Structure 1
Amino acid sequence: MTDTDLLLTFYGDDFTGSTDALEGLADNGVRAVLFTRPPTTEDLERFDDLDAVGVAGVSRTMTPEEMESELPSVFDALGELNAPIVHYKVCSTFDSSPEVGSIGTAIDVAQDAYDSPFVPVSQGTEVPHGRYVAFSNLFAERGGEMYRIDRHPTMRDHPVTPMHESDLRRHLGEQTSRPIGRVDQRFLDDYEAAEAELTETIRENEDEIVVLDALDTDHLETIGRLLWDRATDASGPLFAVGSSGLEHHALVSHWDETGEIDRDATYFEKREPADNIAVMSGSASEETAAQIDWANEHGFRLVSIDTERLVDPYQKSDARAAAVEEALAALDDGESVVLYSARGPDDPAIDATRAAFEEHGTAENLESYLGHQQGVMFRELLERSDVTRACVAGGDTSSHVISELNLDALEAIAPAAPGGPLCRAHSATTAFDGLELALKGGQVHTENDEFDYFGVVEQGGLENAD
């Protein structure tokens, strides 16, 4: 094993979720770097005094067969870093199914690598994402309203991984044959009671996976202590599954209490405003549409990408060139610019583009195809402009942009919105090394009264609440 003093390693099952975990660490004084592939010794030597290392992945969109091919080498590499805990970071809504993004498959693969004494599943975040687990049932907040996850307006009808079951034990039980128990809220108000219940669940019931409730920060603090005590007593790493609540509160609270970290570190703080920024949006969410509207009303120039032409093999080059040239003209005029493929879920361009894509019979799926094309466009735009700060909206789009920019790693440097920090990029390509970049999932938004995420990124983020 590599001799390190790391507290944690993690794998994010998508890019925007990975930066969410990165933010939770940086915001609490934990020096962390997110790599785009498992880091080598040489990669790690570029950074001093690291407390945590992450790898941004895309397993959320993979089949079980693809995960079984992709994940073993990643888990082996993370295990070599010798951190007490390896966290498989998943979306706070537990997006998964037996066919796509199977969390059960990830657990099975990890147990072959680590033989973790048990696998805790911790989905509660409370703040900043409003996710709660009560008697193993997941609840999610939206617009100030609380929904059981199988009744959540977005997740019950999710096009890829709809949630038809709120009990995480039942949902996960469709993805793995391993026995699943729980430690519910009745025990989490007291550490000794929680520890005793966990011991009984593992030893007496022989449960290999344990779902942990969480209704408030006290519960998360108990979970952090439970996991750390178990991990530091184990002969190998503890493999944990869950949302960024582990980074945003559970583990960091315990590390702060034991003196492992200094939560008052000041490297994660607002930056100076940029003259202008470039935004590439591949998100069709209502949230992102409102943010595009806000940008339009506050001096950003909008560039609508002609996606119907973009999916035509004979016209895609011209469609890319037209969008890039229009965006460059805006930047040359000193304006910030948003290039977008759709303006909300009801944009008629979505159905028209899908019909055109199917007509041309491209083997790739549409989302991946568009993401790749937008990545190519954004690379050219950044290469030909003097922009030093940029933003990408959309999970799939983010992964393609990262690939096109040949980025090696990201560090979170400033808060912008929960789950969407401003980061500094590290790249072997000089043009992109040092680029300040924010990756935003479709539902990410600031906690301000306006849909001003792109404006906040332009201004260098927000003042840290601490």
Structure 2
Amino acid sequence: MSDNTAEAAKRPWVTWFGDDFTGSAAVMEVLAFAGLPSVLFTDIPDDRLAARFGDCQGIGIASTARSHGPDWMAANLPAPLAWLHGLGAPILHYKICSTFDSSPETGSIGRAIEIGLGIRPARAVPLLTAAPTMRRYQTFGHLFAGGLDGVARLDRHPVMAHHPVTPMAEADLLRHLSKQTDLPGGLIDLEAMAADPQARLSDLLGDGVRILSLDSIDAVSETAAGALIWQNSADLGFVAGSQGVEYALIRHWQQSGLLPEPESVGSAGAVDRIAAVSGSISPITARQLDWAGRNGFALLAFDASTVCGPAESLEAEENRLVEAASIAAERGGSPLVYSARGHDGPEISRFRKALRESGMDAATANRQIGEALGRILDRILRATGIRRAVISGGDSSGHGMRQLGLSALVAKAPTIPGAALCTAHGEGPHDGLEIALKGGQMGSEDYFGWIRDGGGARSNPG
């Protein structure tokens, strides 16, 4: 830490504000399973709730910023960022997706950085998107992401190139970001990371660079990135990036003796049934749905086109699915409501046709899909008494979680990196619910079954 006073020792080590719920939970998971008690709030907590988790060394707030425009960000980011800044952690992290989901119009990372610098001034903002543990790699400024069929450059990735809201046509992150902000950017590439990253940092700061893109492909470069951020936190206290930021910091903390090696975390134990909803169009999620359908899950298709029509049609669709899910649960199955199975199925064509005819914008429709899935899950849990759940899809998780009346999450059991089983806290009937939030591109083929089994680390998931 920056000093040895008792007051400093009480401060958290890192705070973060996430642009979606799944990524926000992933940061908490990284910290918690490394031995740093951490909590994720779903909004700025009141004093009583904050005090309940006052001993946490990692504190975050989740949002749905990834699915909103710059005006929404300007209105909604300052308050939670200021609250987190006030906790006094050396690092304030704006958490982005590890596939850099963003555009000038939706989820603008550039605008978020500008707003963050207004809350916590810094000479420059490190941008660490890579997370090798999650098969996200940055080399010479270009981002690559792994999936079930290998590793692809971001603009050629089978999921990200076809993202319904923020399709990626550029893998050079600073080039992509230049359309979102006028802040000058510079790169600390693999060669500099291996040789003398501090010297390269000094050169870039001397040139007036404000955004520092950091390459990372393995444990060595990741540790170097963590050391660079931590040792320069007085000047670089506001950071943007994926959970790769926390992976990098933890590697440095462990290597430097600040943090001991953690104890392993086991399974939460198997249950007979879980309930799940999915709003993802990812081919990875489609394979997970196929596996689930063969292994004790009742797959129930949600007609997403109903969000574009009369409210009565949507209500009727929700009622139908809750009834079908309740019947499936009574028969011993695990209900799994999904809006799509991949990005090119007939349900996608039906939804897009309804969207065009309605005149509704895509962002509003996607939000309404997430909210509808959240309402459906809420009612299924109430009707069946099921106490373990999954929400699949980054945007769906954020909008869906808000329908459950939950105010805080703590990590309980690991699965694949970025999609742990958590315990939820709230004032309503879902207090104590075990829930996993999974991004569309995340997870092994048997992910839903893994959650039903209680998670827990294993050497060869899948």
Partner deviation per Cα, 1:193-214 (whole Å, 9 max, x = no partner): 21122112112x1212111111
Task: Check the 8 A contact 1:30/1:263 in 2, yes or no.
Answer: no
Counting only pairs closer than 5 Å after superposition, residues 19-30 of structure 1 correspond to structure 2 as 19-30=25-36
Change in Cα spacing, 1:152 to 1:303, as seen in structure 2 (3 Å) is closer
The residue that corresponds to 1:458 in the other structure is 452
Partner of 2:281: 284
Q: Which residue of 1 aligns with 2:295?
A: 298
Conserved 8 A contact 2:147-2:284: no
Structure 2 CA distance for aligned equivalents of residues 93 and 390 of structure 1: 25
Alignment partner of 2:212 out of 210, 213, 216:
210
Rounded Cα–Cα distance in structure 2 between residues aligned with 1:459 and 1:383: 21
Report what 1:70 is aligned to: 76
Question: 3-state DSSP class of the match of 2:232?
Answer: helix
Equivalent residue for 1:147? 152
Picking from 313, 327, 335, the partner of 2:333 is 335
How far the C-alpha of 1:362 sits from its partner, in A, is 5.9
Q: Which residue of 1 aligns with 2:3?
A: none
Structure 1 CA distance for aligned equivalents of residues 275 and 30 of structure 2:
25
**In the aligned structure 1, how far is the partner of 2:101 from the partner of 2:305?**
29
In 2: Cα distance, 1:330 partner to 1:159 partner: 31
Over 3 Å counting, the alpha-carbon distance change for 1:385 and 1:143 in structure 2 is closer
- CA deviation vs aligned residue, 1:206-249 (integer Å, no higher than 9, x gap): 21211111121111101111111111x45xx70011111122x2
Unaligned runs of at least 5 residues, structure 1:
none
Rounded Cα–Cα distance in structure 2 between residues aligned with 1:65 and 1:465: 45
Please show how residues 4-153 of structure 1 align to structure 2 within 5 Å.
4-47=10-53, 49-128=55-134, 130-153=135-158
* In structure 2, distance between residues paired with 1:90 and 1:213: 16
Instruction: Give identity over the alignment, percent.
Output: 39
Quick one: distance in 2 between partners of 1:30 and 1:241? 20
CA–CA distance in 1 between the matches of 2:306 and 2:118? 47
The alpha-carbon distance between structure 1 residues 200 and 172, as it changes in their structure 2 partners (threshold 3 A), is: same
Amino acid aligned to 1:462: G
The answer to whether the 8 A contact 1:309-1:319 is kept is yes
The Cα offsets for residues 280-307 of structure 1, whole Å up to 9 and x where unpaired, read as 1122222212111111111222222344
Distance in 1, Cα, partners of 2:304 & 2:169: 33
Which of 197, 202, 205 is equivalent to 1:199? Answer: 202
Q: Which residue number in structure 1 is paired with residue 4 of structure 2?
A: none
Letter in 2 for 1:366: A
The one-letter code of the counterpart of 1:199 is S
SS at match of 1:314: helix
Q: Could you say what the CA RMSD is over the residues aligned between the two structures, in angstroms?
A: 2.2
Give yes or no for contact 2:138–2:217 (8 Å, CA) kept in 1: yes
1:404-431 alpha-carbon deviations (Å, 9 max, x no partner): 11110111111122221101001111x1
Report SS of the residue matched to 1:24: helix
The answer to whether the 8 A contact 1:21-1:244 is kept is: yes
Note the C-alpha offset of 1:358.
5.0
Distance in 2 (alpha carbons) for counterparts of 1:104 and 1:282: 26
State the secondary structure of the residue aligned to 1:188. Answer: helix
**Which of the numbers 272, 275, 293 marks the counterpart of 1:275?**
272
Aligned to 2:244: 245
- Rounded to whole Å, the distance in 1 between the matches of 2:414 and 2:34 is 11
Rounded to whole Å, the distance in 2 between the matches of 1:319 and 1:133 is 43
Counterpart in the other structure of 2:425: 426
1:302-321 aligned at under 5 Å gives the runs 302-308=299-305, 311-321=309-319
TM-aligned CA deviation for residue 84 of structure 1: 0.2
Measured at CA, do residues 308 and 225 of structure 1 come closer, stay the same or move farther in structure 2, by a change above 3 Å?
Answer: closer
